Amino acid sequence: MTSSIMTETMAPYYKKQASYQDKRYTQNKSGLIEPIIRHRIQDSIFYKQHLYLTNEATILPVITQHVHFIGGTDSSNRPSVFISCLFRMLELKPSKETITTYLTQLNFNEFKYLTALTLIYIRLVYKSEEIYTIFDPYFQDFRKLRVKLKSPVFDLMKIPRHYTISHMDEWVDALLTKERVIDLILPRLVPRMTLVERGLVTPRKYYVEQEEVKEGASDDDDDEYVSDSD
């Protein structure tokens, strides 16, 4: 009798933690974008005019011609062109072969925002081990990217600044380390060390260390060099 009473009184403390629902495995990938932002995108003029009837091929000219910065929503909650194109990509669910084409078979320098858009699509949809493997080469990508601020920042001359400058490697790092990017909650990632222990991913290479080794080797060569005039 006493044990049953204690069980009833302690029941609230035995509640299980709410399970995490990974939306990457849902059939409708557009649900990865929060409902409020999703509805605003669908109601926007840009989506109705340029994106509504696009497919995997016809969306490319829209991205390359209209996307000139990275951004989510502004202070008035109006969606940017970048997040609108991301939403359409989630609706289309391109095949992995198509995604690879977006990354590798297009002009490297000219279509950098297509690369940034494809990377965040991969971050939202792909598995953790695939994300680490695809993202690794882009830590050596230093192309400049314009990022639109949610609200303007005023400098000392009282001039509003609506954009800031970032780089592709910083964009990749943000996708891997931050919980929220451009007003989107990113799905959880399995820690890289866990995947390395399972043999699914190779350890991350730190290119700074490699450069230091090369510089050290060049210094040693200089020390060993003997001038003809000695």
Q: Is the pLDDT of residue 19 over 50?
A: no
Residues 148 and 70: beta-carbon distance below 8 Å: yes
Residues 161 and 153: beta-carbon distance below 8 Å: yes
Q: Is the Cα dihedral 166, 168, 170, 173 positive or negative?
A: positive
Q: Which residue has the higher pLDDT, 135 or 11?
A: 135
Whole-prediction pTM: 0.77
Question: What local confidence, expressed as pLDDT, does residue 154 receive?
Answer: 78
Q: Is the pLDDT of residue 117 over 90?
A: yes
Q: Which residue has the higher pLDDT, 196 or 28?
A: 196
Q: Which residue has the higher pLDDT, 230 or 210?
A: 210
Question: What local confidence, expressed as pLDDT, does residue 20 receive?
Answer: 42
Tell me the average pLDDT of the chain.
79
Question: What local confidence, expressed as pLDDT, does residue 224 receive?
Answer: 41
pLDDT category of residue 30 using cuts at 50, 70 and 90? confident
Q: Which of 52-66, 105-119, 136-150 has the lowest mean pLDDT?
A: 105-119
Question: What local confidence, expressed as pLDDT, does residue 196 receive?
Answer: 87
Could you read off the pLDDT of 183-195 as tens digits, one per residue?
Answer: 899 998 998 898 8
Question: What local confidence, expressed as pLDDT, does residue 47 receive?
Answer: 94
Distance of CA 175 to the CA centre of its chain: 4
Query: Rounded to an integer, what distance in angstroms lies between the CA atom of residue 145 and that of residue 66?
Result: 14
Task: Provide the residue ranges of all domains of the chain, joining segments of one domain with +.
Answer: 27-198
Burial 135-173 (b: 16+ CB within 10 A, else e): beebbebebebebbeeeeeeeeeeeeeebeebebbebbe
Query: Rounded to an integer, what distance in angstroms lies between the CA atom of residue 8 and that of residue 4?
Result: 6
Q: Which of 104-113, 143-152, 173-182 has the lowest mean pLDDT?
A: 104-113
Question: What local confidence, expressed as pLDDT, does residue 68 receive?
Answer: 93
